[in-house]
Amino acid sequence: MLIALHGSWHQPAHFADLTSRLTSLGIDVLAPDLDKDSLPDRIAAAQQAIDSCPEPPLVLAHSFGGLVAGSLTGVRHIIYLASYVLDPGETAVDVAVRAIEQTGTPDPLLTVMTPGPDGHTHVAPENARETFFADCSAEVAEAATQLLRPERDDIGQWTPTWVNREVTRSTYVQCEQDRALRPEIQEQFAARCNETLAWPTSHSAYLSRPDLVLDLIRRTNSTDASQV
């Protein structure tokens, strides 16, 4: 069983193609909707999916979905795909500020986020492909862009109170051409995981290179099974 956790501005439907491919291989997938008002509520939604599994599942966490994945229990292995791996008390704003200070360049997400009057931020369609889907086909990028939705404007201040890093094995996939979560930050997060891979992809490798994701999931399942 695989639990797929989407990132900010995204939704479960972004995993539709990957889910179809995995199902054809005999791997069941649950993709809970994380569109909740707080981090505890998002963790609860994902935990409910975890608890419904007959045995500890593999989790694929993309982008901000990693903040949720890191606080789950009953998980066999987490694949962080260009994802946030925060410590308790640490926020996305904290890591962005550190990167800005180190590189002297603005955070790429801050340059494309547009605040709205409703307490949400938006990513304009004309910025979405460059930011999230740069190496996707035009058709895939257009479909994925249409699925984007507003995100709460305070998520950059959210922080976990507990993380499962000491009890849950993890693999971090660095997306080297990422234009949403800069590589310098991904390197810091990767150092917090048991294994690191690097792919020459942009932010949404599960859309642009599903073959890489499928192969990693199969290998991880095989490796985990051999260790039981």
Q: Give, rounded to a whole angstrom, the gap between the first and last alpha carbons of the chain.
A: 16
What's the chain's average pLDDT? 95
Q: What average pLDDT does this structure show over 58-80?
A: 98
For the stretch 140-197, pLDDT in tens is 999 999 999 999 999 999 999 999 999 999 999 999 999 999 999 999 999 999 999 9
Residue with tokens 């997060």: 189
Quote the CA–CA distance of 203 and 174 in Å, as a whole number.
9
- CATH topology for the 2-226 domain: Rossmann fold (3.40.50)
For the stretch 163-173, pLDDT in tens is 999 999 999 99
Confidence band for 228, pLDDT divided at 50, 70 and 90: low
Nearest to 200 by CA among 58, 82, 87: 82
63, 69 Cβ separation under 8 angstroms: no
Distance from CA of residue 62 to its chain's centroid? 1
Quote the CA–CA distance of 202 and 130 in Å, as a whole number.
9
State pTM to two decimals.
0.96
Quote the CA–CA distance of 197 and 190 in Å, as a whole number.
9
Percentage with pLDDT > 70 across the chain: 100
Quote the CA–CA distance of 222 and 89 in Å, as a whole number.
35
Q: Which strand (E) or helix (H) includes residue 128?
A: helix 125-132
User: Which sign does the torsion angle of CA 173, 211, 9, 47 carry?
Assistant: negative
Q: Break the chain into its structural domains and give their ranges.
A: 2-226
